[in-house]
């Protein structure tokens, strides 16, 4: 369409740029940024003076695309924003439209939705676990996490048809039913996962080098959390027990018994422990779902062309990275008038420049890894 | 001071050894790598290759009636359909059914929107070519018989 | 008395209660732009966190609506603040000094809707390339055929 | 006038060393990828040659055919010199190493000193590489490698000194012959053995201490800008350096070629590959230590303990 001929020249006000400084480009193509994030680091030796993320390398103007598509056609684009937890995004969009149009979802479909979303949360945390350890220099945990995640992706592929970018939920239900073999395989996965989790803790959590690399590194003070609008494990690592599944319950979460893991330290180790505890919580939730999944049909009666009544609405959902809120304005036609995606990684990254000040380069990468960022979600 | 100094070293060393125990244990367990050229992984039943036209069992022609609902349903408008009514038949039949697979996101909205279930996902995953040109205009009519006498446009 | 009412009680500002089940928003506040910073200070003191800042370009009524969303960690109370303004050279006050996280939201909204947040210390664009002159989310945005300076 | 025998002997030893370096590099790279694979539920190379043995040869050929790219603003002479300075000292370090009672390139009565001195040149090569290619990440990697010498060189020397006290000579052959009468020095010096092990992982920039080429932080550290054969020179230097370090470890602590049934060289190779496996095991288990943590670890833990160990040995030796 158009290319910007002028390279983004980036210059600080003269006052900030001393002569002795050493400007380092972390990204946009760098093993540590897991995506096209560019951070301009102003370094003094190995210590970072200022860090300024430059965004937009993966920007596709999702919100304008949503203004050219019908309500149903926007669903596949949801999976392209946060490809690690596409089902949470599916759920947010589908619940939003159901809330606006007032469709009822049959209970079995709700159970299948939460079952697949929690499996998706585990697969997202497993990938984060591997990537975080890769940032700290350990190669093996990545492969161990993928050993389990592979089984999970195969499992989800049997009913959704895709491994990463799911387009599985439908307005008023789900795309496909769950049969006995799927439930048996899920149980097998749960047992394998529970057998492997202690191995993760032995290999990593106790490790003295890992402790030195993560303990009180990148501490987020409770004072800052509301200033930057943090959410998800990044927030729960600093002592705030805010989880959208508990605070604004949707779908069948009120019927499931699960507690929200919280750490008080607010450092990389705290966020790490919160996410591993969340894998346990999700496993328990799936147990409860497998135990009492009701029978019945999986798709409510829904008109062919979806036309939500005029007005606006918002839907908040807990993705593995935090609170995703979609705010949509409808003018009664089959095309959304305005859609705004409030993405968790956007807020979680905005605190990075404050946290990276004065840290070592190695710590800055540990912090970036512990924030569990998905860059296409930030760039939208 | 000395006691905590020595204790730190001992616990540190201990944690390193437990870590090493895990890796050596994994070294002797068998991973489940599928050595691709010799063994092939089992394809799940709901696997999504590029879409293809479903032939009618009896006549062998495509079930598709060229109504274009899949064209409207597709978010990245990668399907183009032209249809005409072959002589002596009630319903239209597609003369051109082209898929731009380079833009398709395999979301399945077309498969669901088809009133006569004329489209399903194919199962071939090893699509490879020297350029993307052959995939940008895949003619799906090649794999089904054509009701029109002579070749379709 | 929900958290929103107790917080806004002191400011005698008309908070319109909404049906949460249908819209997902607890209360909406339509104010003028000079009250915004005062309200944000009381919200910050009460522990509300800023969810997002955006705008809606309403072509039919010819207005540009600035939308601010706040929520609270302890009790779910989504508050939506709306400021109506004219569609061209709209100006909203910045809340960057109250909520540091707001700087990015403001940069993005300014870039997409051609809004100026006066008082904000960082007026660069966020997601679009630095030398872009068009504003994509305005309803009258036509896809540019090489609108960038220097390309013919 | 050099007599013919010594001439043939030197030619043979030169040939021997290059063969040892070449075959070792091929085998160790394959061995490391197999070990890494199996430790990560994978298989490692299986396609080229029997069980993937020729994979390294294939990689080598590929690297040879790759174009060597010189960055425009690179300092060309230094850029070319760096891999050579990294590799050559490692070849020379193999001269005094006795692979068995008779298999030794050249008997030097100060063999141990030579090897330790050559160990420093490796870091000089890394610094030249980091500075030569005018890349900020490489510069950071090289400056880390320089800071690293201080942390491991002094503890390394301090835990070698007790061995010299015990054996009374710097010659590697003598050290092994002394161990023939008494038992392996590792039993006398368990602490020294452990510190030496940590020091050689530091020395060869491997496993928890691989800052110089920290993939996840510094893209590829000092050899970011190197491609083709020059990159493989660094690679060869690293693996040969591992061979030298573990050979010295085998000689000093586990009695070089001594062993009950098998002939000398086989025992020597077994011990060398035991140490190599240990280094690989470290690499595929631990995350990377931070530079300042490593420096404080070196100064606050390695140095005092190795000093203490040396004093105790000296005290005990004096008492006996």
Which residue ranges form the domains of chain A, and what is each CATH number? Answer: 67-343 (1.10.645.10)
Q: In chain B, which residues have their Cβ closer than 8 Å to the Cβ of A202?
A: 18-19, 21-22
Q: In chain D, which residues have their Cβ closer than 8 Å to the Cβ of A138?
A: 285-288
Are B20 and D42 inside 8 Å of each other by CB?
no
Q: In chain C, which residues have their Cβ closer than 8 Å to the Cβ of A2?
A: 144-148, 151
Asked if omega into B70 is within 30° of 0 (cis), the reply is no
Which D residues, 8 through 67, put their C-beta within 8 Å of a C-beta on chain B? 35, 38-43, 46
Q: In chain B, which residues have their Cβ closer than 8 Å to the Cβ of A72?
A: 73, 109
Residue in B12, B21, B46 nearest the CB of A161: B46
Domain ranges across chain C: 3-118
In sequence order, which residues have a C-beta less than 8 Å from that of residue C72 and are 6 or more positions away? C3, C46, C47, C48, C49
Q: What's the CA angle centered on A31, arms A29 and A36, to 5 degrees? A: 35
Are A362 and D210 inside 8 Å of each other by CB?
no
- Test mutation, D213, D216, D280, D294, chain A, max A CBs within 10 A: D216
Are C44 and A228 inside 8 Å of each other by CB?
no
Determine D/B contact with 3+ CB pairs under 8 A as the test: yes
- Test mutation, D40, D41, D47, D277, chain B, max B CBs within 10 A: D41
Instruction: Give yes or no for A137 touching D (CB within 8 A).
Output: yes
Are C99 and A230 inside 8 Å of each other by CB?
no
Q: What is the pTM of this model?
A: 0.92
Residue A280 is predicted with a pLDDT of 94
Cα–Cα separations (whole angstroms), residue C110 to A228, B81, C54, C115: 19, 42, 9, 4
Average pLDDT over residues B106-116: 90
Average pLDDT over residues C77-95: 91
| CATH code at C3-118 | 3.30.460.80
Which D residues, 284 through 313, put their C-beta within 8 Å of a C-beta on chain B? 284-286, 301
Q: In chain A, which residues have their Cβ closer than 8 Å to the Cβ of D224?
A: none
Which A residues, 30 through 69, put their C-beta within 8 Å of a C-beta on chain D? 30-32, 46
In sequence order, which residues have a C-beta less than 8 Å from that of residue A376 and are 6 or more positions away? A35, A58, A80, A81, A82, A83
Indicate the average pLDDT of chain B: 86
Q: What is the SS3 assignment for chain D?
A: CCCHHHHHHHHHHHHHHHHHHHHHHHHHHHHHHHHHHHHCCCCCCCCCCHHHCCHHHHHHHHHHHCCCCCCCCCCHHHHHHHHHHHHHHHHHHCCCCECCCCCECCCCCCHHHHHHHHHHHHHHHHHHHHHHCCCHHHHHHHHHHHHHHHHHHHHHHHHHHHHHHHHCCCCHHHHHHHHHHCCCHHHHCHHHHHHHHHHHHHHCCCHHHCCCCCHHHHCCHHHCCCCCHHHHHHHHHHHHHHHHHHHHHHHHHHCCCCCCCCCHHHHHHHHHHHHHHHHHHHHCCCCCCCHHHHHHHHHHHHHHHHHHHHHHHHHHHHHC
- Please identify every stretch of chain D with a pLDDT value under 70, giving residue numbers as ranges: 1
For residue B2, count CB atoms less than 10 angstroms from its CB and return exposed for 0-12, middle for 13-18, buried for 19 or more: exposed
pLDDT by 10s per residue, chain A, length 380: 333 333 333 444 444 555 667 888 887 888 777 788 899 999 888 889 999 999 988 898 899 999 988 999 999 999 999 999 999 999 999 999 999 999 999 999 999 999 999 999 999 999 999 999 998 988 899 999 999 999 999 999 999 988 999 999 999 999 899 999 999 999 999 999 999 999 999 889 989 999 999 998 999 998 888 889 999 999 999 999 999 999 999 999 999 999 999 999 999 999 999 999 999 999 999 999 999 999 999 999 999 889 999 999 999 999 999 999 999 999 999 999 999 999 999 999 999 989 988 889 889 999 999 999 999 999 98
Which A residues, 204 through 233, put their C-beta within 8 Å of a C-beta on chain B? 204, 206-209, 211
Average pLDDT over residues B48-71: 88
Are C148 and A380 inside 8 Å of each other by CB?
no
Could you tell me the two tokens for D20?
């040892």
What phi and psi values does residue B35 have, to the nearest 5 degrees?
Answer: -80, 100
Residue D107 is predicted with a pLDDT of 85
Residue in A8, A228, A347 nearest the CB of C130: A8
Cβ atoms of A122 and A150 within 8 Å: the answer is no
In A89-224, DSSP assigns E strands to 169-170, 173-174
Residue A16 is predicted with a pLDDT of 54
Instruction: Give yes or no for C122 touching A (CB within 8 A).
Output: no
pLDDT in tens, D181-217: 888 888 888 999 999 999 999 888 887 888 887 777 8
The contacts found for D20-25 with CB under 8 angstroms, 24 or more apart, are: D20/D94, D20/D99, D20/D243, D21/D90, D21/D91, D21/D94, D21/D236, D21/D240, D21/D243, D24/D239, D24/D240, D24/D243, D25/D56, D25/D235, D25/D236, D25/D239, D25/D240
What is the chain A residue with the closest CA to D141? Answer: A46
Instruction: Give yes or no for C127 touching A (CB within 8 A).
Output: yes
Which subunits have 3 or more CB–CB pairs within 8 Å of chain D? A, B
Residue A114 is predicted with a pLDDT of 95
Of A51, A47, A36, nearest in space to A355 by CA:
A51
Instruction: Give yes or no for A281 touching C (CB within 8 A).
Output: no
**How close is the nearest chain B Cα to the Cα of A13, in Å?**
43
**How close is the nearest chain D Cα to the Cα of B37, in Å?**
10
pLDDT in tens, C126-139: 898 888 888 889 98
Could you tell me the two tokens for A287?
């147990």
Q: In chain D, which residues have their Cβ closer than 8 Å to the Cβ of A136?
A: 216, 287-288
User: Facing residues of C82 across strands?
Assistant: C30, C67
In sequence order, which residues have a C-beta less than 8 Å from that of residue B94 and are 6 or more positions away? B53, B62, B64, B66, B81, B82, B83, B141, B152
What is the chain A residue with the closest CA to C121? Answer: A13
Are C51 and A323 inside 8 Å of each other by CB?
yes
Instruction: Give yes or no for A22 touching D (CB within 8 A).
Output: yes
Domain ranges across chain D: 71-319
- In this prediction the ipTM stands at 0.90
Determine B/C contact with 3+ CB pairs under 8 A as the test: no
What is the chain A residue with the closest CA to C59? Answer: A337
Cβ atoms of A300 and A106 within 8 Å: the answer is yes
Are C126 and A6 inside 8 Å of each other by CB?
no
- Test mutation, D33, D34, D37, D39, chain B, max B CBs within 10 A: D39
For residue B37, count CB atoms less than 10 angstroms from its CB and return exposed for 0-12, middle for 13-18, buried for 19 or more: exposed
């Amino acid at each position: 369409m158009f290319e910007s001929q002028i390279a983004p020249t980036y210059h600080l006000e003269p006052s900030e740029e001393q002569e002795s400084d050493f400007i380092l480009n972390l990204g946009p193509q760098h093993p540590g940024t897991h995506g096209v994030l560019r951070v301009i680091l102003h370094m003094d030796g190995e210590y970072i003076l200022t860090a300024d993320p430059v965004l937009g390398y993966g920007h596709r103007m999702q919100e304008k695309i949503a203004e050219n598509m019908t309500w149903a056609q926007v669903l596949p684009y949801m999976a392209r924003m946060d490809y690690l937890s596409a089902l949470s995004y599916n759920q947010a969009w589908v619940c939003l439209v159901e809330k606006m149009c007032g469709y009822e979802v049959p209970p079995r479909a709700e159970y299948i939705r939460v079952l697949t979303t929690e499996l998706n949360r585990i697969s997202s945390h497993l990938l984060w676990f591997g990537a975080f350890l890769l940032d700290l220099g350990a190669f093996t945990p990545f492969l161990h996490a993928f050993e389990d995640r592979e089984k999970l992706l195969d499992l989800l592929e049997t009913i959704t048809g895709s491994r990463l970018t799911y387009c599985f939920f439908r307005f008023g239900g789900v795309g496909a039913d769950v049969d006995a073999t799927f439930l048996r395989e899920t149980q097998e996965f749960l047992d394998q996962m529970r057998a492997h989790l202690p191995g993760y803790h032995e290999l990593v959590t106790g490790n003295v080098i890992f402790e030195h690399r993560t303990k009180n590194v990148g501490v987020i003070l409770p004072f800052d959390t509301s200033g930057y609008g943090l959410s998800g494990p990044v927030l729960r690592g600093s002592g705030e027990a805010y989880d959208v599944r508990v605070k604004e319950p949707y779908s069948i979460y009120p019927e499931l018994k699960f507690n929200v893991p919280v750490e008080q330290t607010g450092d990389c180790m705290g966020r790490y422990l919160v996410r591993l505890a969340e894998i346990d919580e999700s496993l328990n939730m799936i147990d409860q779902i497998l135990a009492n999944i009701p029978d019945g049909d999986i798709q409510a009666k829904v008109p062919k062309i979806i036309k939500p009544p005029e007005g606006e609405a918002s839907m908040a959902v807990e993705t593995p990275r935090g609170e995703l809120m979609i705010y949509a304005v409808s003018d009664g036609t089959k095309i959304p008038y305005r859609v705004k995606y409030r993405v968790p990684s956007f807020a979680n990254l905005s605190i990075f420049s404050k946290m990276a000040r004065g840290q070592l380069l190695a710590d800055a990468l540990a912090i970036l890894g512990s924030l569990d960022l998905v860059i296409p979600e930030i760039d939208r | 001071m000395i006691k905590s100094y020595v204790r730190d070293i001992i616990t540190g060393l201990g944690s390193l050894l437990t870590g090493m125990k895990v890796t050596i244990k994994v070294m002797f367990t068998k991973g489940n790598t599928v050595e691709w050229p010799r063994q092939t992984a089992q394809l799940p039943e709901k696997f999504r290759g590029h879409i293809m036209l479903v032939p009618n069992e009896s006549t062998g022609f495509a079930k598709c009636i060229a109504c274009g609902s899949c064209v409207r349903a597709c978010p990245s408008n990668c399907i183009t359909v032209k249809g005409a009514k072959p002589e002596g038949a009630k319903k239209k039949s597609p003369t051109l059914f082209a898929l731009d697979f380079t833009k398709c996101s395999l979301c399945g909205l077309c498969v669901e929107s088809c009133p006569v279930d004329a489209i399903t996902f194919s199962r071939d995953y090893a699509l490879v070519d020297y350029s993307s040109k052959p995939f940008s205009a895949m003619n799906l009519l090649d794999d089904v018989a054509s009701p029109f006498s002579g070749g379709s446009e | 008395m929900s958290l929103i009412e107790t917080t806004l009680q002191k400011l005698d500002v008309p908070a319109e209660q909404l049906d949460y089940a249908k819209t997902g928003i607890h209360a909406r506040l339509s104010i003028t732009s000079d009250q915004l910073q005062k309200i944000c200070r009381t919200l910050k003191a009460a522990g509300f966190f800023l969810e997002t800042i955006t705008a809606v370009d309403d072509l039919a009524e010819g207005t540009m609506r600035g939308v601010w969303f706040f929520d609270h960690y302890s009790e779910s109370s989504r508050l939506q603040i709306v400021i109506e303004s004219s569609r061209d050279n709209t100006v909203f006050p910045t809340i960057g000094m109250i909520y540091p996280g707001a700087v990015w939201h403001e940069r993005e909204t300014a870039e997409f809707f051609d809004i100026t947040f006066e008082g904000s210390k960082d007026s660069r664009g966020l997601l679009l390339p630095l030398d872009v002159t068009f504003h994509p989310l305005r309803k009258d945005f036509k896809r540019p055929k090489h609108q960038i300076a220097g390309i013919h | 006038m050099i007599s013919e025998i010594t001439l043939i002997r030197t030619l043979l030893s030169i040939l021997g060393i290059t063969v040892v370096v070449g075959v070792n590099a091929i085998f160790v790279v394959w061995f490391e990828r197999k070990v890494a694979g199996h430790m990560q539920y994978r298989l490692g190379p299986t396609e080229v040659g029997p069980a993937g043995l020729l994979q390294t040869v294939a990689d080598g050929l590929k690297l040879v055919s790759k174009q060597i790219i010189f960055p425009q603003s690179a300092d060309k002479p230094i850029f070319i010199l760096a891999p050579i300075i990294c590799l050559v000292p490692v070849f020379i370090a193999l001269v005094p190493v006795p692979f068995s009672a008779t298999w030794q390139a050249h008997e030097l009565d100060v063999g141990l000193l030579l090897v330790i001195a050559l160990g420093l040149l490796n870091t000089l090569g890394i610094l030249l590489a980091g500075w030569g290619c005018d890349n900020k990440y490489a510069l950071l990697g090289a400056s880390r490698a320089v800071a690293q010498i201080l942390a491991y060189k002094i503890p390394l020397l301090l835990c070698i000194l007790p061995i010299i006290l015990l054996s009374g000579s710097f010659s590697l052959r003598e050290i092994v012959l002394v161990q023939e009468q008494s038992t392996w020095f590792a039993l006398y010096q368990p602490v020294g053995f452990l510190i030496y092990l940590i020091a050689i992982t530091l020395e060869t920039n491997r496993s928890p201490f691989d800052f110089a080429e920290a993939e996840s932080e510094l893209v590829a550290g000092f050899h970011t800008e190197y491609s083709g054969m020059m990159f493989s020179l660094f690679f060869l230097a690293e693996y040969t350096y591992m061979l030298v370090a573990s050979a010295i470890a085998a000689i000093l602590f586990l009695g070089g070629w001594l062993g009950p049934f098998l002939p000398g060289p086989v025992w020597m190779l077994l011990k060398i590959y035991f140490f190599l496996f240990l280094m690989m095991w470290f690499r595929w288990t631990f995350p990377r230590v931070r530079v300042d943590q490593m420096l404080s670890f070196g100064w606050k833990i390695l140095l005092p303990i190795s000093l203490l160990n040396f004093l105790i040995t000296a005290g005990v030796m004096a008492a006996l």
